Amino acid sequence: MRFQMIVVAALALSAACGDDDDTATDPEGGGAGGDDTLSEAIEAYSRIVLASYEDSLAGAEELDAAIADLLADPSAETLEAARDAWLTAREPYLQTEAYRFYDGPIDNPDDGPEGQINAWPLDEAYIDYVQGDEQAGIINDTDETIDAAALLGLNEQGGEKNIATGYHAIEFLLWGQDQSEDGPGARPYTDFVAGGTAENQERRGEYLQVTSALLVEQLGGLVDAWKTGEENYRAELLSEKPTEALRRILTGITVLSGFETGGERLQTAYDTGDQEDEHSCFSDNTDRDMVQDVRGIQNVYLGSYERFDGSVVEGTSIEAAVAEVDEGLAEDIAERMDQSFELAQALKPPFDREIAFDNDAGRQRVLDLIDSLLAQEKLLMDVFVAFDLKQVELPE
C-alpha cells in the first residue's frame, strides 16, 4: 500500500506539470474538447460517487445489525446471516474503488480512511488465533484495550500486513483462516460463545463489534464528502476547471485498471498460486471483487450506476466527452471495458482454484483478464494525451 501512495504522488505531480499545457490549449482552463459535455460528465460522476457510497453505507449498516444479532445470540444461523451481510455489503463498496488514487476523500494522504477500510493483505495472527498458535493476536492479548481509538492506533502498526480494522478484519473474524483448497474459512459460531471453542470469546465479540461500527462511521464520512449543497470535496471538484477534474477521474480508473486490479490483485496471485495472495481469501469472494472492481471502472466511464434498489443514477458520460475529441478512442475504450467485464465474470469460484498451478484453464482465465486490464490501462492513458494532460508514467 505504501508503494501505491508513491504512485499516487507521482500521478499528481505528473498531472500538475501538465497544467501549463492545459492553459495553453484554452486560457479558461478547458483543455481539449467541449467544456459543456465535460462539465456535465463531471457532475454525473459526482452523483454516481455519492450514490455508490450511500449504498456502501447502507450495506455496512445492515452488516452491523447482523453482527449485533450474532453477538446477541451466537448460532450457526446468525453467523451465516452475518457472513451473507458482509458479502452483500462488499458489492457496492468494491465499485467505489474507482474513486481512489487521486488523493480524494478516500485516500487523502492526511486523513483518507482507505487504509482503515479496505487494507490488505492481512496477517491473521495480528488479530486472533491461527492454526498452530492459539494465543496469537490482539484479541488474545488481554493487555490490549479493544475500542475504536486503540484499533485505529494498532492498524498497520509495525508493518503493512498488521491490519486491525476494515472489511478484511471483519471477514477474518466471520470466516476464520481459509484452510480449504475448494471452500472458504470455517470459523465456528462457538468462537463467540462463552466457554466455547476458543478463549477470549467476549473480547472477540467486542473486537468484531468495534470494527463494524468503525466501518459505518468511516463510510458515513465519505458520504458527507460527496453530498450536494455543502462545502466539501464534491464542491471542490465541481469548482475545478474541467480538465483538472477529468485528470483526477482518469487517474482513478487508470490506476485501478492496470496497476491495482491487473497487477496487485491478479498478477501477484497468478505468479505465486498462493491463496494467501487472493484479495478476499477468508470468504473466497475474490471472483466478485474482480467483477465489481471492473464494473466500477465502467460505471465511471459510461456515466451510469445501478443502485441497491435497482434504480439507476446516470448522466453525461466520460465516454461522451472523450468522443468529442477522439471518437475512435472512445469506442475502443468502451469495447475493451466490455471485454474486461466479460472476462472478470468468466472467473470461476473459488478463486484459489483458478490460480492453482494444476488448473491450466483457470490460470488462463486469470491471465486473459490481466492482459485485458493492462490493455485497458494503455487506452485510458491515451485519453491523457487527447486532452493535453501530461502523460502519466505508471509502474510496470
Cis peptide before 109 (omega within 30 of 0): no
Q: Within 13 A of 156's CA, how many CA atoms are on the CB side?
A: 13
Length in residues, the chain: 396
What is the rounded distance in angstroms from the CA atom of residue 278 to the CA atom of residue 287? 9
In the predicted model, what is the mean pLDDT of residues 370-379?
98
107 neighbors 260 (Cβ within 8 angstroms): no
Phi (first) and psi of residue 314, to 5 degrees:
-150, 165
More confident residue, 256 or 396: 256
- What pLDDT does 9 receive? 37
- Using CA atoms, how far residue 55 sits from 49, 95, 106, 131, 134, in Å, is 10, 10, 15, 36, 37
Q: What is the mean predicted confidence (pLDDT) over 351-377?
A: 97
Which band of pLDDT confidence, cut at 50, 70 and 90, is reported for residue 179? confident
- pLDDT at residue 248 is higher than 80: yes
Give the per-residue pLDDT at 275: 84
User: Can you read off the three cell numbers belonging to residue 268?
Assistant: 501477484
Query: The dihedral of CA 99, 292, 46, 88: what is its sign?
Result: negative
**Which residues neighbour 110 within 8 Å (Cβ) at sequence distance 6 or greater?**
none
Band the pLDDT of 390: cuts 50, 70, 90. Answer: confident
Average the pLDDT over 172-182 and give the result: 91
Which grid cell is 71?
A: 453477538
Q: Mind listing the pLDDT tens digit for each residue in 87-134? A: 999 999 999 999 999 999 999 999 999 999 999 999 999 999 999 999
Could you give the CA distance from residue 368 to residue 105 in angstroms, rounded to a whole number? Answer: 33
- What is the per-residue pLDDT for 1? 39
Closest by CA to 357, choosing from 290, 285, 272, is 272
Q: Please report the domains of the chain, with CATH numbers, ordered by start residue.
A: 2-386 (1.20.1420.20)
CA distance 213 to 219: 10
- What is this structure's pTM? 0.90
What's the CA gap between 365 and 266, in Å, rounded?
Answer: 11
